[in-house]
């Protein structure tokens, strides 16, 4: 949703000369890189643009200094920042490399996890500041303006993908936590169950009712049990555990259906009561 200040700022920005417009666009990238709150970001840019507009025949550098980047960094350091911005970017990058890992697993045709992959979250942790301080700040500049930080980010970004690929190579089999060769359908089934586990965790985390938490718990246990069965993992008591999970799943599905039917009947009965009351009146 576009706020009024942003809309006015965009309109004034479109009327500027290209050098001044590029300076303002660079400021946008700098403020984004420092996770300045959106409302405060547009407030700052709108105020700067208004002052700039009021001074005719003055360039950006004449008004705000010869180093607009430093000026923007001073602004960013004195404004409120979004606390979840860094971790949002971190989760997105980590999700991207998780996708790369699963893609490699499908291509290789085996479920394998190497101890070497533990380094990936730490590599991503190094990558996010480089991305924010280079890619976002240089977003409106040409390739010739790329800094050393940008080059380091690109090298680390590509190197991490190669690191994931080579971690699954047979040469590093001594680092494998597990290695299970199987068909593509088996691999996809395991991946789907892993996704179900994450969905169940989110349901358990955000649900408030006891029934929803119980449903999420059964969903998680069912997915874990399905993965163990797919990988043919045998452990003491696994037969009894399978029976318990099957029964719990059936009971949960029936309870969920009854719960939904009750809610539906309550809704329709409420409508009937309201219609009867309106006729009486």
Residue ending a domain, among 115, 146, 181, is: 181
Q: Are residues 92 and 131 in the same domain?
A: yes
pLDDT digits (tens, 9 = 90+) for 205-243: 888 777 778 888 888 888 888 888 887 777 777 778 778
To the nearest 10°, the Cα dihedral for 221, 223, 226, 227? -110
Burial class (CB in 10 A: 0-12, 13-18, 19+), 69: middle
Q: DSSP labels for 10-32? A: HHHHHTS-HHHHHHHHHHHHHHH
Q: Please check whether residues 167 and 227 belong to one and the same domain.
A: no
| Dihedral pair phi/psi, residue 151, rounded to 5° | -65, -40
pLDDT in tens, 19-72: 778 778 777 777 777 677 777 777 778 888 887 877 765 777 777 766 666 666
Structure tokens given for 72: 């923007």
Give the count of alpha carbons within 13 A of 145, CB side only. 11
pLDDT band, residue 140 (cuts 50/70/90): very low
* Structural domain count of the chain: 3
Cα–Cα distance, 3 to 9 (Å, whole number): 10
- Mapped onto helix, strand or coil, the DSSP state of residue 177 is strand
Residue 272 is part of which domain span? 185-280
Kindly state whether residues 170 and 90 are assigned to the same domain. yes
Task: Annotate 181-248 with DSSP letters as a single string.
Answer: E--HHHHHHHHHHHHHHHHHHHHHHH--SHHHHHHHHHHHHHHHHHHHHHTT---TTHHHHHHHHHHH
Residues 172 and 189 in one domain: no
Provide the 3-class DSSP secondary structure of residue 67: coil
DSSP 3-state of 58: coil
pLDDT at 121: 92
Q: Which residue in this structure is represented by tokens 């942790």? A: 125
pLDDT at 200: 87
The pLDDT value given to residue 123: 92
Beta carbons within 8 Å of 18's beta carbon, 6+ residues apart: none
Task: Tell me: do 222 and 253 sit in the same domain.
Answer: yes
Q: Bigger pLDDT: 19 or 95?
A: 95
Note whether 172 and 200 are same-domain residues. no
pLDDT at 24: 80
Q: DSSP characters for 99-111?
A: HHHHHHHHHHTEE
pLDDT (average), residues 4-18: 83
Q: Check residues 70 and 174 and name the one with the higher pLDDT.
A: 174
């Amino acid at each position: 949703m576009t706020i009024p200040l942003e809309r006015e700022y965009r309109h004034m920005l479109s009327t500027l000369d290209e050098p001044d417009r590029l300076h303002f666009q660079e400021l946008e990238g700098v403020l984004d890189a420092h996770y300045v709150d959106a409302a405060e970001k547009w407030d700052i840019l709108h105020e700067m643009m208004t002052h700039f507009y009021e001074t005719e025949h003055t360039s950006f550098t004449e008004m705000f200094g010869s180093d607009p980047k430093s000026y923007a960094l001073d602004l960013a350091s004195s404004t409120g920042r979004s606390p979840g911005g860094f971790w949002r970017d971190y989760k997105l990058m980590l999700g991207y490399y998780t996708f790369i890992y699963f893609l490699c697993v499908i291509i290789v045709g085996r479920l394998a996890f190497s101890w070497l992959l533990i380094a990936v979250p730490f590599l991503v942790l190094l990558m996010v500041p480089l991305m924010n301080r280079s890619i976002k700040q240089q977003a409106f500049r040409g390739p010739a303006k790329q800094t050393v930080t940008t080059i380091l980010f690109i090298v680390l970004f590509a190197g991490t993908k190669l690191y994931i690929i080579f971690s699954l190579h047979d040469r590093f089999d001594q680092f494998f936590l597990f290695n299970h060769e199987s068909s593509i359908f088996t691999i996809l089934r395991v991946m789907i169950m892993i996704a179900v586990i994450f969905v169940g965790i989110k349901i358990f985390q955000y649900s408030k009712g006891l029934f929803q938490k119980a449903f999420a718990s059964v969903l998680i246990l069912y997915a874990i049990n399905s993965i163990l069965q797919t990988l043919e993992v045998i452990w003491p008591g696994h037969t009894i555990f399978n029976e318990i999970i099957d029964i719990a799943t059936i009971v949960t599905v029936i309870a969920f259906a009854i719960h939904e039917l009750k809610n539906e009947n309550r809704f329709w009965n409420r409508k009937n009561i309201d219609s009867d009351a309106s006729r009486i009146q």
